[in-house]
Amino acid sequence: MKNHIFRPLWVVIGLVVLILIIRPFYVPKDFGIHERGYMYGWYRKSNIEDWKKVSVKYQGKEYCGSCHPDKVESIDRTPHAVIQCENCHGPALEHPSDPPKLAIDRTREQCLRCHAKLVYPSSGRANIRGIDPDKHNPGVECVMCHNPHNPILEGLK
């Protein structure tokens, strides 16, 4: 057969050989078939460790209580004991070193997440005391009158 037919063939063969040579260097040693076989377990194993390295942002109530026990103790005597500090105070991250101060969410919308009355009979929402946001002092921040750390109505400011 003529040379001009073979020439592109050699190029293709050359490329295949080149890829096969590069492949062992390029593909990480831990990439391959793991526990769950080829269908579900074909991956780079060290990626599992990569995901474990993601930083924890929400430290939890106990972390807050180790420095602010008085605050945790006082809120624990109220129905708001079920709410994590960081739900309103924001993720602690590395507080107190970084950030030294947390941005507190004092907005009306934050309270309305639970306290906008929705009469949904088969949901826990129906059992939460709530208001109609359009009728109950619209535009005013809830914390003007209510203390979120002592939300019972007797504790009105």
Partner 1 sequence: MISRRDFLKSAAKVVAGASIPLAAIEILAPARVHALKTDSSIRWAFLVDTYKCVGCGFCVKACKNENEIPYDANVTRTWVERYVLTKDGKLYADSPKGARDGFTGTKIDLGMGHYQDIKKEDIKKAFFVPKLCNQCDNPPCVQVCPVGATYQAPDGVVMVDRKWCIGCGYCIMACPYGVRFFHPKYHTAEKCNFCYHRITKGLKTACVQACPFGARQIGNIKDPNDPVAKAITTERVGILKSEYGTKPQVFYIGLDEEVR
Residues that bind partner 1 (CB under 8 A): 31, 33-37, 39-44, 47-48, 50-58, 60, 82-84, 86-87, 90-91, 109, 112-114, 116, 118-125, 128, 133
Residue closer to partner 1 by CB (options 35, 154) is 35
Do residues 140 and 108 make contact, with C-beta atoms less than 8 angstroms apart? yes
CA distance 154 to 51: 48
Residue closer to partner 1 by CB (options 8, 37) is 37
Shortest distance in whole angstroms from residue 120 CB to partner 1: 4
Shortest distance in whole angstroms from residue 129 CB to partner 1: 12
Shortest distance in whole angstroms from residue 6 CB to partner 1: 32
Shortest distance in whole angstroms from residue 124 CB to partner 1: 5
**143: Cβ–Cβ under 8 A, 6 or more apart, which residues?**
106
Shortest distance in whole angstroms from residue 4 CB to partner 1: 35
Residue closer to partner 1 by CB (options 57, 106) is 57
CA distance 22 to 69: 60
Residue closer to partner 1 by CB (options 1, 49) is 49
**152: Cβ–Cβ under 8 A, 6 or more apart, which residues?**
78, 79
Residue closer to partner 1 by CB (options 3, 42) is 42
CA distance 104 to 83: 14
**93: Cβ–Cβ under 8 A, 6 or more apart, which residues?**
55, 57, 59, 99
CA distance 58 to 94: 9
